[in-house]
Amino acid sequence: MIYFKIVTRTILFYVIIMITYRVMGKREVGELSVVDLMVSLLMAELAAMSIENLDDSIWLSLAAIATVVGLQILFAKVSFINNFSRRFLEGKPSVIISKGIVNFKEMIKQRYNLNDLLSQLRGQGVKSIEDVDYAILENNGLLSVFQKEKRSVVPMPIIVSGALQFETIHEIGKDAAWVYQLLKKHHLDLKDVFYAFYKDGEVYIIRYQKKDQVYKGERYS
């Protein structure tokens, strides 16, 4: 009877966790942020406790897992809408290499050492730091690399979810006034811009149309 309970609960929690990840929209471990990883560990611990403590009602663990998943979905929606919440919960990408120059200050801030950098560069087939134009450490710990010989111009995000990206704007030699002037020129509001990036002297803007929930991209200069 005990073995039957253990097997039954193991199968049940296996299915529940699989469904949970589908709901959360995650398919690979590399896609998980720090918050997602924390949720994963918490769910695994709750499932393990239920399997070990057979005398406790299984509904206690199910209620706890449902609460955790509900909070995660809620936070995901809030962070999608609000830029400050997204940065607070998930952090922001860090530019490790900019125009071929390694940003050691940012590496120290992120506790990201040279061995980590070289290892991830090798993992993407990059032989030397000298071959890299830009390298960005994403929120999930993965490194996005733009090599000098493989690109003409790196697209630089200047607006994300209606919020100005001041570091990037400064990187391209512009300021906030320039962005507002561009938006005003084309009769656009900052809050209506889902995503905008600067590339090769032009700005590509994806507008968020609330009426039909469609993203529409256009070029501006």
3-state secondary structure of 198: strand
Domain residues for the domain of 203 are 156-220
Distance CA 162, CA 69 (A): 27
The model's confidence at residue 65, banded by pLDDT at 50, 70 and 90, is confident
- Are 131 and 147 contacting, i.e. CB atoms less than 8 angstroms apart? yes
Same domain, 180 and 196: yes
Maximum Cα–Cα distance for the chain, whole Å?
74
Residue written as token pair 């663990």: 61
Q: What is the mean pLDDT of residues 168-172?
A: 87
> What tokens does 179 get?
């962005």
Same domain, 50 and 82: yes
Among 132, 122, 144, 124, which Cα is nearest to 101's?
Answer: 132
Domain end, chosen from 74, 89, 104, is at: 89
* CB contact burial 96-116 (16+ within 10 A = b; e otherwise): bbbeeeebeeebeeeebeeeb
- The total of structural domains in the chain comes to 3
Q: What pLDDT score does 32 carry?
A: 64
Same domain, 77 and 6: yes
Same domain, 177 and 216: yes
Domain end, chosen from 89, 119, 135, is at: 89
Same domain, 79 and 12: yes
By DSSP bridging, strand 132-137 and strand 143-147 are: antiparallel
Mean pLDDT, the chain, integer: 80
Predicted TM-score (pTM) of the model is 0.50
Same domain, 172 and 142: no
Spatial CB neighbours of 44, under 8 Å, sequence gap ≥ 6: 17
Per DSSP, 152 falls in state: S
Same domain, 85 and 96: no
Same domain, 187 and 201: yes
Residue 33 pLDDT > 70: no
Same domain, 112 and 184: no
Least confident of 15-29, 110-124, 170-184, 187-201: 15-29
Same domain, 82 and 135: no
| pLDDT tens, residue by residue, 52-63 | 888 888 888 888
Same domain, 143 and 187: no
Domain end, chosen from 57, 89, 121, is at: 89
State the CATH number of the domain containing residue 127. Answer: 3.30.240.20
3-state secondary structure of 207: strand
Distance CA 12, CA 65 (A): 13
Same domain, 46 and 99: no
